[in-house]
Structure 1
Amino acid sequence: MQLPVMPPVPPMLAKAVSGMPDGALSYEPKWDGFRSIIFRDGDELEIGSRNEKPMTRYFPELVEALKENLPPRCVLDGEIVLVGASGDRLDFDALQQRIHPAASRVKLLAEQTPAKFVAFDLLALGDDDYTGRPFAERRAALEKALAGSKAPVHLTAATQDKATAEQWFQQFEGAGLDGIVAKPLEGSYQPDKRVMFKVKHERTADCVVAGYRVHKSGPDAIGSLLLGLYKDDGGLASVGVIGAFPMKRRQELFEELQTLVTDFDGHPWAWAKQAEGERTPRNAEGSRWSAGKDLTFVPLRPELVVEVRYDHMEGERFRHTAQFSRWRPDRDPESCTYAQLEEPVNFDLASVLETGRPQAPSSP
């Protein structure tokens, strides 16, 4: 492989902002998948990742699709996504399962849950390095390069109209998207630099604190608090964690929570006693994604309620780590149910994928 931009390349990043920014910007949907830079030189193709390690072997169906749809020599930035079984939302949990060490399993999942690639930037084309050029020029070249592409290779939607972006922000969440990314039109491609902007949904929920993990620095500080919400059948579901506390506060929390420490007998997650030292209330946390991490936890009587901030749900859980907001001593733990959560209105994912598709040049 010999390209103007060679792997590995860390992708350009975005910094979070509280509202839709103004200015000479291109607004795009924020896709919820695996960030990936694609390197193609003829029959050679590599699928890069956020951590710069190749993911090529995990997506054989995309390797073939990318060879069919991309220019012979190019480097593209984009996102690998997976459409859920319902066909109308992205499914990040199912996408995670695609990273599997067994070749036979990879082959089976490629057939059962094929992925898609959504392109949103161009780093190189032919012998030309585009990273120093303004985004407006890169976007125009990307549209031209993908004019003849077909699913499962897509071009992300983009607009320079802030009002349209705000509409997308509300609508596209119903298809499982994550928010909006805004890119300066005159900006160059800067690997590993937070020079873009991202606007994500933020909501609050009152959750039960049902356990904690100790901090890696020692046994007398809290690493994270395990959160739960009650289901209709009365069971307490594990929905995520909070853990961004200053060290002094971690130590104070450890002392404060000792009065609530219990054993697994009678605890809502009593079954975890059988797997003590191996996993947490979320079975998937004991997977290859957490290899080498100590996932044991200390059970607490579910009497403490905390209000947290979150962006959106993935199934029964918070998609990303929640953030501490405040303690709620006024709330009854049994009142912390899924009914309090805001649900986005469903939106057709297929229309989102097709919004950015460029038209092939017309014949003269």
Structure 2
Amino acid sequence: MNLPVSPPVEPMLARLAPSIPPGMHYEPKWDGFRCIIFRDGDEVVFGSRTGRPLERYFPELADGARRELPARCVIDGEIVVLTDGRVDFGTLQQRIHPAASRIRALADASPAVVVVFDLLATADTAMLTRTFHERRARLVELLAGSGFPFLLTPATDDHARAAYWFAALEGAGLDGIVAKPFDLRYQPGKRVMVKIKHERTADCVVAGMRPYRGGSGVGSLLLGLYDDAGVLQYVGVCGAFAASSRTALATELSPLVTEITDHPWGAGHGRVPGTPNRWNSGENLDWVPLRPERVCEVAYDFLDGARFRHTAQFRRWRPDRTPESCRFDQFEAPEPIDLAAALDLPPADRCRPRPQPAGP
């Protein structure tokens, strides 16, 4: 691969802000797998944030890059799956699978798309030192004739429209807004963009804990909520514990450690986390069952179906709440919205695979 910008490259990142700043370029915040795509003729690399190539998990995207992208380019984007006009993060996660046959079946059933939002190189020209305003204009030109699986992200410099997107698009599975200064240079690995995300709180049952992998104490707490049938459902984990409190928290919760046979998740009903083990520093443990007697308040940004999409953040203990009172009815579902209409996306045939000509 002989490009002016070569893999691996860390993507440019964003820092969190409490509100949408004025006077910037605004885009919806897509929640999928971030990737930088390198194409040099038939050679294609989809680089992830972790450095692990993603092309084997998304064969339809690698094929699409050879078909739709300029012959030599480097672009930045987000891999997403759209189901019924909504970002489907759960289906996307299933694509990270060891079996090629399973990956291909999922690709056929729910093909992914790449929402493109930046340009790092084109032909023999590196674009890293160009302003974002220049990069965006050139990106629009390059993708003007492209179709599935590449979609240029909608964008605006209208603060009011960005505020509308922030309020409305949660109903289509998006989780906020990204703001970029017009004169921003591409800075790999630096948090120089701005992201604005929803944050809400919920009261959850603490039903397990995971050891901190980097040392001693608690790394995260496993959270549950009761459904209408009275079954404790696993909804995710919370973290954000200071190093000084991890060991103390483990000591505080140790009286609640129980056998999995005595735990609500031991019967395997509903959604449960991974295989449980008793806490033992000599083993590679997954999670430790706790009697579901304590309640904590957590902050979260997005409820995807009946689970937190991302790690929630611990806020405080709630001794005034009983575990049985922690139910799903505390959540207010966002109003569903047609993603294509709200963002003026291209017609549906631009967001699905094109029929390929039959062979000879």
Judged with a 3 Å threshold, the aligned counterparts in structure 2 of structure 1 residues 252 and 342 are, in CA distance, closer, same or farther, namely same
| Secondary structure of 1:48's aligned partner | strand
Could you tell me how far apart the structure 1 residues matched to 2:193 and 2:221 are? Answer: 31
Counterpart of 2:355? none
Could you tell me how far apart the structure 1 residues matched to 2:212 and 2:299 are? Answer: 22
Judged with a 3 Å threshold, the aligned counterparts in structure 2 of structure 1 residues 322 and 294 are, in CA distance, closer, same or farther, namely farther
8 Å Cα contact 2:154-2:345 kept in structure 1: yes
Residue deviations 1:133-190, cap 9 Å, x none? 0000100111111111223310001111111111100111111112111111101001
| Secondary structure of 2:263's aligned partner | coil
Q: By how many angstroms is 1:217 displaced? A: 5.5
Could you tell me how far apart the structure 2 residues matched to 1:67 and 1:112 are? Answer: 21
How many pairs does the alignment contain?
340
Judged with a 3 Å threshold, the aligned counterparts in structure 2 of structure 1 residues 330 and 191 are, in CA distance, closer, same or farther, namely same
Does residue 201 (structure 1) correspond to residue 198 (structure 2)? The answer is yes
Identity of aligned residues (%): 57
Gaps of 5+ in 1: 274-279, 287-292, 358-364
Could you tell me how far apart the structure 2 residues matched to 1:206 and 1:307 are? Answer: 4
Q: By how many angstroms is 1:317 displaced? A: 1.1
Counterpart of 1:15? 15
Counterpart of 1:65? 64
Counterpart of 1:276? none
Counting only pairs closer than 5 Å after superposition, residues 209-248 of structure 1 correspond to structure 2 as 209-216=206-213, 221-248=217-244
Judged with a 3 Å threshold, the aligned counterparts in structure 2 of structure 1 residues 97 and 217 are, in CA distance, closer, same or farther, namely closer
Could you tell me how far apart the structure 2 residues matched to 1:110 and 1:249 are? Answer: 44
Counterpart of 2:110? 113
Could you tell me how far apart the structure 2 residues matched to 1:259 and 1:160 are? Answer: 55
Could you tell me how far apart the structure 1 residues matched to 2:341 and 2:77 are? Answer: 18
Letter in 2 for 1:77: D
| Secondary structure of 2:264's aligned partner | coil
Could you tell me how far apart the structure 2 residues matched to 1:12 and 1:151 are? Answer: 25
Could you tell me how far apart the structure 2 residues matched to 1:104 and 1:265 are? Answer: 36
Counterpart of 1:249? 245
Answer with 146-155 or 232-241: which moved more: 146-155
Does residue 343 (structure 1) correspond to residue 333 (structure 2)? The answer is yes
Counterpart of 1:93? 90
Q: By how many angstroms is 1:252 displaced? A: 2.1
Residue deviations 1:266-322, cap 9 Å, x none? 42112369xxxxxx9325x89xxxxxx945322222121111000011222111110
8 Å Cα contact 2:211-2:285 kept in structure 1: no
8 Å Cα contact 1:154-1:354 kept in structure 2: no
Could you tell me how far apart the structure 2 residues matched to 1:263 and 1:43 are? Answer: 55
Counterpart of 1:39? 38
| Secondary structure of 2:151's aligned partner | strand
Q: By how many angstroms is 1:114 displaced? A: 0.9
Could you tell me how far apart the structure 2 residues matched to 1:42 and 1:298 are? Answer: 50
Counterpart of 1:155? 152
Counterpart of 1:79? 78
Judged with a 3 Å threshold, the aligned counterparts in structure 2 of structure 1 residues 151 and 348 are, in CA distance, closer, same or farther, namely farther
8 Å Cα contact 1:302-1:333 kept in structure 2: yes
8 Å Cα contact 2:340-2:346 kept in structure 1: no
Letter in 1 for 2:328: Y
Counterpart of 2:290? 300
8 Å Cα contact 1:158-1:356 kept in structure 2: no
Could you tell me how far apart the structure 1 residues matched to 2:59 and 2:286 are? Answer: 35
Aligned equivalent of 2:139, options 133, 139, 142: 142
Could you tell me how far apart the structure 2 residues matched to 1:218 and 1:69 are? Answer: 47
8 Å Cα contact 1:83-1:90 kept in structure 2: yes
| Secondary structure of 2:82's aligned partner | coil
8 Å Cα contact 1:157-1:356 kept in structure 2: no
Could you tell me how far apart the structure 2 residues matched to 1:106 and 1:301 are? Answer: 38
Q: By how many angstroms is 1:38 displaced? A: 1.0
Counterpart of 1:267? 263
Residue deviations 1:113-149, cap 9 Å, x none? 2101110001111211111000001001111111112
Does residue 4 (structure 1) correspond to residue 14 (structure 2)? The answer is no
Could you tell me how far apart the structure 1 residues matched to 2:294 and 2:229 are? Answer: 21
Judged with a 3 Å threshold, the aligned counterparts in structure 2 of structure 1 residues 178 and 45 are, in CA distance, closer, same or farther, namely same
Residue deviations 1:220-255, cap 9 Å, x none? x22221111111111001111122212332222222
Letter in 2 for 1:269: W
